Structure 1
């Protein structure tokens, strides 16, 4: 039996077990729990699996370059959940299956952000995949909500056979203790987390530093989208049949505001002007070329398209789609 067939069988068995468990449970079900955060989308010859890590709260005050009244107007009737900590913001990762090759883009927060997050690894298993089967992990950047998930709960490599790809610019900055000393205090805690996450992969020779012009595995191209971090990278994935997928990492944090106002930056951007330029460029290209988009901080599953709306843009979430067989 091929690895792909084994994965399909595993997924069916998990589904059957879930259904059987629900039937046997009767009234002992747990209505306060959601189903696993997994969503599959077939794009061309690829299967994209969105993996939900959890949510974080980002405060309105963390937006820059916009006045309070405008933020309030843009959020009006957008129904983004909000509490005392801030606006609900999803954290997503994406698994790309190309034949029998598995590429994971970003890994979630693992143990770095406390309870309510760190669900990527469990959701990967719930989707029917063994983490040991993942061939490559591509990181959009070196922030903890994207790379802490390289380690499991015991601090061991979560993807024991995978090669980890991180842009040279981010690696040179976030893995260097000298950068930590000179960095603003609000981001200094991220430096030791980054070094810890990649340490076992670097020790075994499986940390690959790259520049955007380098050839990446499985037909994936790196697109320079720096600004949020010095080496923030988006990925363009050729899905065949004329379809492209743009996995854009952290180009958008506040979807209800930044599609309408791409000039609004985020407090955590290392270079706000460059982040705005990257966002404008990627939004325009995705909209004009009809690319699929996968966003780390868009409402789960974070898959859809971008359309122009006057001088601004709008997010078009993917319609629910039955899972189509993969093209050989």
Structure 2
């Protein structure tokens, strides 16, 4: 018994002697903080069609005094605060889409382009990189449909060094949009207005680099299997939205019927973004399309909604509100 007790005591001393060594053993270092976001794309099915929403990035800028007409800067800031956002900042999201119809691979709008990717240090102009991450080859695209001619929708038609980004695709543009923006007389009238002047110059830069090889289309036409153009003027003269339909399923690709900090103009459809060319018509179009989506219980894919931009719209007082779709982690 004495021997056992002695052994136990010795073992205890040994264990105690080792304790400081164990305590001094360093814990594993924390993982370094990431410096990049994940590739951003999201897929869902509309009947037998598949839509891939491809993020072009997010930009935050200071709220300008003339950001919207019909509202003061203070009124706008109040709406931002109600949405738990800074009163003096504006955040814009950009989300073009790709529609795989089976027979055709169709891109709808192309984002801000690689030049903007460089200038923004990767915050925007992500469309091409995220297409590749989604395993979508630009050379496999059959058709690019442009909704209107603002830079965040057409600049991605060009790759680096002003080369065509979609070398094998037919480029389809709204006929009314082409007629207005490519008219030298209209351009002359727009000189002196910074928004219009910059638009006219950028439009020529992009389409001249493509040799002006485009196919104009009219509203109300099926442009690809299950993709029908829908006139929605006001934001620009030929601004066009789209209905993507397959079987009994359909979604409204609304593009810029609400743009910029788009939820602002969902809540207050009577307000207008400064870049809306025909402001009364933009308001009329906004209400018409949202009332249609509500009546038909149609989901909306919104270019400027927070990614991935798939929402439902419903009435809210004199305006509307968006209900984001639940993210689906599988197809």
Q: Same fold (TM over 0.5)?
A: yes
What residue number does 1:11 align with?
Answer: none
Give the conservation status (yes or no) of the 8 Å contact 2:220–2:231: no
Instruction: Measure the CA separation in 2 of the matches of 1:316 and 1:60.
Output: 28
CA offsets 1:213-252 (integer angstroms, 9 cap, x no match):
3441122111111001010000111132x22111111111
Q: Does 1:146 align with 2:153?
A: yes
- 1:248-327 map, 5 Å: 248-253=254-259, 254-324=261-331
Equivalent position SS for 1:320:
coil
Greater Cα offset, 98-107 or 192-201: 192-201
Instruction: Measure the CA separation in 2 of the matches of 1:246 and 1:192.
Output: 30
- 1:42-191 map, 5 Å: 42-57=45-60, 59=63, 61=65, 62-80=67-85, 86-111=89-114, 113=116, 114-115=119-120, 116-183=123-190, 184-191=193-200
Distance 1:101 1:27, change over 3 A: farther
Equivalent position SS for 1:189:
helix
1:243 to 221, 241, 249: 249
Instruction: Measure the CA separation in 1 of the matches of 2:210 and 2:47.
Output: 32
Q: Does 1:193 align with 2:199?
A: no
TM-score between both structures, scaled by the size of structure 1: 0.83
Instruction: Measure the CA separation in 2 of the matches of 1:216 and 1:188.
Output: 30
Give the conservation status (yes or no) of the 8 Å contact 1:164–1:201: no
How far the C-alpha of 1:71 sits from its partner, in A, is 2.4
Count residues with an aligned counterpart. Answer: 294
Equivalent position SS for 1:80:
coil
TM-score between both structures, scaled by the size of structure 2: 0.82
Greater Cα offset, 231-240 or 301-310: 301-310
Instruction: Measure the CA separation in 2 of the matches of 1:185 and 1:73.
Output: 28
Instruction: Measure the CA separation in 2 of the matches of 1:174 and 1:112.
Output: 22
Greater Cα offset, 194-203 or 49-58: 194-203
Instruction: Measure the CA separation in 2 of the matches of 1:137 and 1:178.
Output: 28
Give the conservation status (yes or no) of the 8 Å contact 2:114–2:126: no
Give the conservation status (yes or no) of the 8 Å contact 1:42–1:323: no
Distance 1:178 1:63, change over 3 A: same
Give the conservation status (yes or no) of the 8 Å contact 2:101–2:226: no
Q: Which runs of 5+ in 1 are unaligned?
A: 1-25
RMSD, aligned α-carbons: 2.1
Instruction: Measure the CA separation in 1 of the matches of 2:132 and 2:86.
Output: 28
Instruction: Measure the CA separation in 2 of the matches of 1:82 and 1:68.
Output: 9
How far the C-alpha of 1:50 sits from its partner, in A, is 0.9
Give the conservation status (yes or no) of the 8 Å contact 1:78–1:256: no
Equivalent position SS for 2:160:
coil
How far the C-alpha of 1:100 sits from its partner, in A, is 4.3
Equivalent position SS for 1:42:
strand
Q: Which runs of 5+ in 2 are unaligned?
A: 1-28
